[in-house]
Amino acid sequence: MTSTPHSLNGHGFVKHRPPVPQSTEYGNATNFWVEYPSGLVDLTRTVHLPEAARAHDVPEQPDEQVVFEGKLSIPPLIADKQWEVEVDGDRSLRLSKAHTAIVIIDMQNYFLHPDLRDHPTGLDCVLQLMNVVPALRTLGAKILWVNWGLTDHELSTIPPSLVRGFMKGGKGGFGAELPGAFGRLLMRNEYNSALYGPLQHLYEQGHTAGSDVWIHKNRMSGLWGPQSALDLYLQESGITTLFFAGVNADQCVLGTIVDSYFRGYDCIALQDCIATTSPEGGLENVLYNCGNSYGFITDSDRVVKATEKKL
C-alpha cells in the first residue's frame, strides 16, 4: 500500500493521517492502542511498547515479541484470538475476536419499506449486511441489532423536540397508527418496527444460534443517558471494538457513533452499510469524521475478505 494524504473514496474529500514515524502507544495501563510505522494499529490491548510497560509498571512482555535485531517489531498475531482488517488511510487494524461486535442501527420497515418510505441507498445496504453479518459470526463476533422499540410508558417520557420531529403537520408521530398492517409507529412488536425483508430472518437465525441480540432504544442514540441497554450489554460482554452500520447516517447512526466514541469504544464505520435520506453532505460528513476523529472506515468487502483469510 502506498500512503496518500488525501483520497476521493466516493464519499467526499477525506484527509488521511500520515504514518507514524515510530511505534506509538495511546492510552493508559489497561486501555491502550499501539500504532506501528507499517500502518498496523493494534486495538487488542494485549502488548505494551517496552517503554510504556515500564512507565505503567505492568509486567514485562516476552522480549521476542517486541525486539528484533535491536529494532522494535510487531508482536505475532494470535490467530485463534485475533484478526486483522484493512481500513482507509493505508492502515490495518488488529482486533480481538471475543471483543468485537457490529452495531446495526434502525434497519427497520419504518425506515426502509417502499410502502412507507423511498430510501434506495438504505435498501442497498441490505445486501451488504447479508454478506458481512455471517462473516463476522464466523469469528465469534456479536451482532447487535439496535432499533427503535417504544413502550406506552416511554411515550410519556420522550422530550418535545423528538416528538415534534416525528410528526408531520402536527399529526402522527410515535405510537400513531400507520396504514395497513404496519401497526403503531415504532412501538415494540409492531410490523413497522421489525427488520426489513431478509434482515428479520437473518436476525432470527443468529438469535437462535446465540450470536445476535436485539436491543431496543428510545432516542436517536443507542447509547444516550447514564446507562442504556446497549452500553450495559457491551460492558457485561467485555466488548471494546464496534463496527457500525444502518440508517440514517447523520441521525441515529451518528448519534450512536459519537456516544460510543465519548465512552471509549473503538469505532469503525462500514461505509457501504450506512446510508441516509439527507441531502448530499450528510453521509460525507459522518464518514469524514469517522475517518479523522472518531476512529476508522472500512467496508463489507474488506471485512469479509479478512474473515476468510487463512493464517
For the chain, 311 residues long, give each residue's pLDDT as a single digit of tens: 433 334 445 545 567 889 999 999 999 999 999 999 999 999 999 999 998 766 666 665 544 344 333 467 899 999 999 999 999 999 999 999 999 999 999 999 999 999 999 999 999 999 999 999 999 999 999 999 999 999 999 999 999 999 999 998 888 999 999 999 999 999 999 999 999 999 999 999 999 999 999 999 999 999 998 889 999 999 999 999 999 999 999 999 999 999 999 999 999 999 999 999 999 999 999 999 999 999 999 999 999 999 998 55
- One domain, residues 250 and 105: yes
The DSSP output letter for 250 is: I
- One domain, residues 55 and 112: no
- One domain, residues 136 and 267: yes
In the chain, the number of structural domains is 2
The range of the structural domain enclosing residue 14 comes to 6-97
What's the predicted TM-score (pTM) here? 0.92
- One domain, residues 201 and 251: yes
In a domain? residue 310: no
Last residue of a domain, one of 42, 66, 97: 97
- One domain, residues 119 and 239: yes
CATH number of the domain at 292, please: 3.40.50.850
- One domain, residues 85 and 151: no
Phi-psi region of 71 (alpha: psi -120 to 50; beta: other; left: phi over 0): beta
- One domain, residues 170 and 189: yes
| Strand-pair category, 67-68 with 71-72 | antiparallel
Last residue of a domain, one of 30, 65, 97: 97
Quote the Cα angle for 251-181-165, to 5°: 25
In a domain? residue 188: yes
The label of the residue with cell 402536527 reads: 170
- One domain, residues 151 and 45: no
Paired residues of 82 in beta bridges: 96
Last residue of a domain, one of 32, 65, 97: 97
In a domain? residue 207: yes
Helix (H, G, I), strand (E, B) or coil at 198: helix
In a domain? residue 307: no
How far is the CA of 80 from the CAs of 76, 84, 138, 140, in angstroms? 12, 12, 12, 11
In a domain? residue 301: no
* pLDDT of 235: 97
- One domain, residues 171 and 22: no
- One domain, residues 14 and 149: no
- One domain, residues 233 and 152: yes
- One domain, residues 111 and 244: yes
